[in-house]
Amino acid sequence: MLDIRDGTFDGTFPFAPRYLMVNGFGMHFVDEGEGDPILFVHGDPTWSYLWRRFILALSGRHRCVVPDQMGMGKSEVPQDAGRYRLVHHVANLESLLLRLDLRDVTLVLHDWGGPVGLGVAIRQRERIRRLVLMNTWAFAPWPAGPLPRLLEIIRSSRGEHFVLKKNGYVEAALRAGSARPETLPPAALAAYLAPFPTPASRLALLCWSRDIPVAENDPSFAEMQRIERALPAVADLPTLIVWGMRDSVLPEAVLRLWQRALPGARVRELADAGHFLQEDAPAPALRAVEEFLAALDRSPRSP
């Protein structure tokens, strides 16, 4: 395991590390609290640290399960790039869900966590109680216009040097995806960078960006399309969409796609937040989730 496995990052991440062998690699996850489970799924280039404030606030009434996806955070980093496709990430998360026997699950999904988590929700529909989507997508092809310049660089021939050798991606992505990059605390930036000290540790960062389905011949296009076409299977679930409206990666047009795909969803727009709304506007984002959970906890469950 990585040498950060016991790291608390100046006490901002005070959660006991837990591990399971999942599809041949050691997956790290946080498992805090009791009650109906909330499964938080991060995207790229973050890890479970993204959800630290949510875990602290919600674990008093809910079981918060927060994995690090393969190659990210405190999870192991297999060195076979072919294992970092969307279909594999879906299978990994599904394995964790089943190994922990999670039921009545609230899925909270961000960025790449959206298609990964929804891929699991479609396959394990009876275990999912509700959805929370935060600045994510699950549409093929890429629905947000031209790819951001940073992603274009990673997908080009320069990408391996930029990500693996230069370590240029994490900080650039966090700052470009924030509405107020100057407010990201140095300690938080250090925590986000900590899992990626060497070229070998950064493989997932390269693979995530290169796996975005832009054209039909991209390896994960068919899997993303399968997930998109199956969205009606989860459209009846209580759903909250919390959206940072200053997102330079997934702009407002993608939010409107979600509203058409999931017409019953409640929407909370955060005017002063960008892609990483958990850092830009943690208090209103958390409040929206707390209100959503409380309202549904007061409602009778479906049989």
Q: Which residues are catalytic?
A: 111, 247, 275
DSSP string, 164-193: IIS--HHHHHHHHT-SSGGGS-HHHHHHHH
The token pair at 192 is 């986000």
Where are the strands (E) in the chain, listed by range?
Answer: 18-22, 25-32, 37-41, 63-67, 105-111, 128-136, 239-244, 266-270
Q: Look up tokens 């959660």; give the residue.
A: 15
Rounded to whole angstroms, the Cα distance separating 160 from 236 reads 42
CA 281 to the chain's CA centroid: 17
Say whether the peptide bond before residue 115 is cis (omega within 30 degrees of 0): no
The token pair at 188 is 């938080």
CA 176 to the chain's CA centroid: 17
Rounded to whole angstroms, the Cα distance separating 102 from 36 reads 9
Angle at 155 between CA 177 and CA 110, to 5 degrees: 35
* 63-67 sheet: strands from edge to edge: 18-22, 25-32, 63-67, 37-41, 105-111, 128-136, 239-244, 266-270
